[in-house]
């Protein structure tokens, strides 16, 4: 079957090299498995496993770049992968159709994808808008399919929106703020299109999306990496856009930590869920955006100053995160035995965390092998919950050391029922219940236990897991998760999220035909078929940024 014909896909064979500080020549390492794939024709789980073992030996240093000129030529995705025994799953064609139906046009040009195309739902709310974070998997799917135009249009359109004056009541937002979402209004009489954007002033809870700017920078790099076209990133407008976003985060103030202080609900979890403070999702995206910007900013007068600040912040941030957010068995044991009320520089328990505040569940949850970045660390407060997005981004950005990345994957394997269950993937674990739910969420009826942001399962996270699996050389984990998704996602109409401890039930208020559930599935499939796509969304470890981890490490167990 010709995959290209069936799914209406275009082939990708163009490769270019862009000079980036984190770019390394992977062609030598990747050439080998690539040949294997082509020769073997039966690219089954075993061969993928072998490929991963071969890669994992040097994976962290090398499995990164999409662009080593020529190595992909003659291996077009996804059509040729079909020829090489990847019969495309029937869901793939359906997903492409659904993704294309979600396209949003501005003056005849595609500029994004709508959050959900759910006609059955009575309440539209803002699901008819293009969300910046939701568009990321769509963008990656289009880039992987050799359709960069829509991504370029999106990047430019949102950049224009950044230039708007943003106000909430009488208060003006920082210049660099990017919108959470925008909507195109078509006037059939005047035959004109206009845009409205939401920077948090209409959002439920009135929170500005801290993640939008980070995703914008990450996407700009993905576009540059995928197309080899540096000219967009190098425009004065894009350079300024990046600098403005970063100025918001790099300014000096009262902070004693290099992490970014946030309000509740400022990212994917956009409602009150007790993630105020220093949430892992934002810290990981911040780190990744800083590294992406570092590779895209020009070394001109204005760029240079920004670059210097980025480099300093990256050092401090990686040290802080790797040291204080990391939790594994030994570290948990250390915290359990912490002394409190220590004063001065010699303090071991720097944030004065009271051991009694460690929740019971974490002692059972923590495997002997494995570890993760916890949800939040601030004075006398550690949020021990697992958050999927932050941990996957930590792996992809190399905020996690290679050993920590392996430990995160170990944890996912060891705690499969809890974190994956019957439908990938839990956004957070565990759910908050009863009195705690009342206090922490403010009695939010949408975030009841094991639903939505409170321990619900989100298919969109599949692409992040798959990318992390490929980077750590464990594609078989992704394959297992994708198999699970394939049993239900299409049949259930691509829900936004699932409910229940195991994620067995379609979410109570979940939209159907949620675009990022569709695109997330496609990206996961395409990456597994052609792991070289990983380079778009992954950054290799920066050797100069090696803080010593002076504490426990699960990899020695
Ligand atoms: C929900 C999600 C948010 C997403 C939006 C649109 O509000 O919590 O992350 O961007 O829906 O899909």
Beta-bridged to residue 104, according to DSSP, are 112
Atom of ligand 1 nearest to the CA of 452: 8
- Which residue's alpha carbon is at the smallest distance from atom 6 of ligand 1? 115
State residue 206's pLDDT score: 86
Structure tokens at 115: 């959050």
| Distance, CA of 41 to CA of 74 (rounded, Å) | 15
Does the C-beta of 133 come closer than 6 Å to ligand 1?
Answer: yes
| Residue closest to 268 by CA, chosen among 452, 472, 30 | 452
As a whole number of angstroms, the distance between CA 472 and CA 159 comes to 34
Q: How many residues does the chain have?
A: 557
Three-state helix/strand/coil letters over 111-146: EEECCECCCCCCCCCCCCCEEHHHHHHHHHHHHHCC
Which tokens sit at 470?
């490929």
**Residue 503 contacts residue 429 (beta carbons within 8 Å):** no
| Residue 136 to residue 515: CA distance in whole angstroms | 11
Q: Measured in angstroms, how far is the CA atom of residue 172 from the centroid of ligand 1?
A: 24
CA angle 316, 320, 326 (to 5 degrees): 150
Residue 115 Cβ contacting ligand 1 at under 6 Å: yes
C-alpha to C-alpha distance for 148 and 192, rounded to whole angstroms: 25
Give 254's strand partners. none
Per-residue pLDDT tens digits of the chain, which is 557 residues long: 333 334 444 433 333 333 333 333 323 323 333 322 232 222 223 333 333 333 333 333 333 433 333 233 333 334 334 444 557 899 999 999 999 999 999 999 999 999 999 777 666 777 899 999 999 999 999 999 999 999 999 999 999 999 999 988 889 999 999 999 999 999 999 999 999 999 988 878 888 999 999 999 999 999 999 999 999 999 999 999 999 999 999 998 999 999 999 999 999 999 999 999 999 999 999 999 999 999 999 999 999 999 999 999 999 999 999 999 999 999 999 999 999 988 888 899 999 999 999 999 999 999 999 999 999 999 999 999 999 999 999 999 999 999 999 999 999 999 999 999 999 999 999 999 999 999 999 999 999 999 999 999 999 999 999 999 999 999 999 999 999 999 999 999 999 999 999 999 999 999 999 999 999 999 999 999 999 999 999 999 887 765 545 444 444 33
CA 154 vs CA 104, 106, 111: distances in Å: 10, 10, 5
CB 142 within 8 A of CB 131: no
Beta-bridge partner residues of 186? 193
Q: Does the CB atom of residue 270 touch ligand 1 within 6 A?
A: yes
How far is CA 99 from its chain centroid?
Answer: 19
DSSP state of 169: T
Task: Say how many Å lie between the CA of residue 181 and the centre of ligand 1.
Answer: 10
What is the atom index within ligand 1 of the atom nearest the CA of 129?
6
Nearest to 159 by CA among 241, 77, 264: 241
Q: Among 113, 267, 268, 272, which is best to mutate for testing ligand 1, by the most ligand atoms less than 8 A from CB?
A: 268
Atom 4 of ligand 1, nearest CA residue = 268
Q: Is 268 in the pocket of ligand 1 (CB under 6 A)?
A: yes
CA of 230 to the centre of ligand 1 (A): 31
Beta bridge partners of 198: 181
For residue 261, the CA-to-ligand 1 centroid distance in Å is: 21
Ligand 1 atom nearest 115 alpha carbon:
12
Q: Which helix (H) or strand (E) holds 99?
A: helix 90-101
For 89, the 3-state DSSP assignment is coil
pLDDT for position 23: 35
Asked if residue 131 has its Cβ within 6 Å of ligand 1, the reply is yes
Ligand 1 centroid – CA 268 distance (Å):
6
Pocket test residue of 102, 131, 135, 273 for ligand 1, highest count of atoms within 8 A of CB: 131
Q: Which helix (H) or strand (E) holds 56?
A: helix 45-62
C-alpha 176 – ligand 1 centre gap (Å): 21
- CA atoms of 115 and 129, how far apart (whole Å): 6
What are the beta bridge partners of residue 291?
Answer: none
Least Cα distance to 180 among 216, 230, 143, 150 occurs for 216
Determine the Cα–Cα distance for residues 177 and 377; give it in Å rounded to an integer: 25
pLDDT for the residue numbered 1: 38
CA angle 323, 403, 466 (to 5 degrees): 110
| C-alpha 129: how far from chain center | 20
**CA dist 8 to 4, 340, 434, Å?**
5, 62, 49
Q: What is the DSSP letter of 493?
A: T
Question: In ligand 1, which atom is closest to the CA atom of 181?
Answer: 10
The pTM is what?
A: 0.85
Q: How much distance in Å is there from the Cα of 444 to the middle of ligand 1? A: 16
Q: How far apart are CA 29 and CA 113, in angstroms?
A: 36
Q: Which atom of ligand 1 is nearest to the CA of 270?
A: 8
- Ligand 1 atom showing the smallest separation from residue 271 Cα: 8
Report the distance separating Cα 315 and Cα 323, nearest Å: 12
Helix, strand, coil in percent for the chain, rounding step 5? 45, 10, 40
What is the spatial distance between Cα 106 and Cα 21, in angstroms, rounded to a whole number?
Answer: 35
Element of type H or E holding 499? strand 498-499
Cβ neighbors of 442 (< 8 A, separation 6 or more) are: 272
Half-sphere exposure of 56 (CA within 13 A, CB side): 19
The response to whether residue 511 sits with its C-beta less than 6 Å from ligand 1 reads no
Q: Which two tokens stand for residue 477?
A: 């984990």
Give the ligand 1 atom nearest the CA of 131: 10
Q: Which residues pair with 328 in a beta bridge?
A: 371
The residue contributing the CA closest to ligand 1 atom 11 is: 127
Residue with tokens 């250390």: 334
Q: What is the Cα–Cα distance from 85 to 43, expressed in whole angstroms? A: 7
Contact 74, 116 (CB under 8 A): no
Tokens of 269: 């979890």
């Amino acid at each position: 079957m010709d995959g290209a014909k069936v799914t209406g896909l275009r082939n990708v064979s163009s490769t270019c090299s862009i000079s980036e500080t984190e770019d390394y020549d992977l062609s030598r390492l990747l050439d080998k498995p690539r040949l294997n794939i082509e020769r073997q024709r039966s690219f089954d789980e075993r061969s993928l496993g072998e490929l991963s073992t071969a890669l994992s030996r040097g994976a962290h240093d090398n499995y990164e770049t999409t662009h080593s000129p020529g190595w992909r030529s003659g291996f077009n995705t996804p059509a040729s992968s079909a020829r090489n025994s990847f019969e495309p799953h029937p869901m793939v064609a359906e997903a492409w159709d659904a993704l294309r139906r979600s396209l949003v046009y501005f003056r005849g040009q595609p500029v994004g994808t709508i959050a959900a195309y759910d006609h059955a739902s009575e309440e539209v709310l803002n699901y008819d808008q293009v969300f910046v974070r939701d568009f990321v998997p769509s963008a990656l799917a289009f880039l992987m399919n050799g359709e960069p135009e829509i991504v370029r249009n999106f990047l430019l359109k949102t950049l224009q929106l950044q230039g708007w004056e943003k106000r909430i009541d009488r208060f003006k937002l920082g210049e660099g703020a990017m919108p959470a979402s925008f909507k195109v209004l078509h006037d059939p009489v005047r035959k004109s299109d206009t845009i409205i954007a939401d920077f948090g002033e209409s959002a439920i809870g009135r929170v500005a999306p801290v993640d939008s700017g980070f995703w914008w920078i990450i996407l700009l790099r993905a576009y540059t990496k995928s197309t080899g076209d540096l000219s967009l990133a190098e425009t004065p407008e894009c350079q300024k856009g990046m600098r403005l976003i970063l100025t918001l985060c790099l300014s000096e103030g009262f902070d004693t930590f290099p992490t970014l202080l946030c309000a509740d609900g400022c990212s994917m979890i956009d409602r009150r869920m007790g993630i105020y403070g220093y949430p892992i999702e934002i810290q990981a995206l911040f780190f990744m955006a800083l590294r992406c910007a570092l590779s895209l900013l020009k070394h001109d007068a204005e760029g240079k100053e920004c670059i210097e600040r980025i480099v300093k912040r990256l050092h401090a941030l990686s040290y802080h995160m790797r040291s204080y957010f990391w939790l594994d068995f030994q570290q948990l044991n250390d915290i359990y035995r912490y002394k409190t009320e220590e004063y001065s520089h010699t303090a071991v328990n720097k944030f004065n965390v009271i051991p009694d505040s460690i929740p019971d569940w974490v002692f059972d949850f923590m495997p002997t092998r494995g570890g993760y970045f916890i949800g939040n660390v601030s004075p006398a407060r550690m949020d021990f919950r697992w958050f999927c997005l932050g941990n996957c981004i930590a792996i992809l950005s190399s905020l996690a050391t290679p050993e920590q990345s392996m430990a995160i994957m170990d944890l996912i394997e060891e705690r499969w029922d809890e974190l994956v269950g019957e439908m990938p993937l839990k956004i957070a674990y565990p759910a908050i219940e009863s009195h705690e739910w009342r206090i922490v969420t403010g009695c939010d009826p949408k975030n009841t236990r094991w639903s939505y942001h409170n321990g619900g399962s989100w298919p969109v996270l599949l692409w992040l897991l798959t990318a992390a699996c490929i980077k750590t050389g464990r594609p078989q984990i992704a394959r297992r998760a994708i198999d699970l998704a394939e049993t239900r996602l299409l049949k259930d109409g691509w829900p936004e999220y699932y409910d229940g401890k195991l994620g067995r039930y379609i979410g109570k208020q979940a939209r159907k035909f949620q675009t990022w559930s569709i695109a997330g599935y496609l990206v996961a499939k395409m990456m597994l078929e052609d792991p070289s796509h990983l380079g778009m969304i992954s950054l290799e470890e920066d050797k100069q940024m090696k803080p010593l981890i002076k504490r426990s490490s699960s990899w020695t167990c």
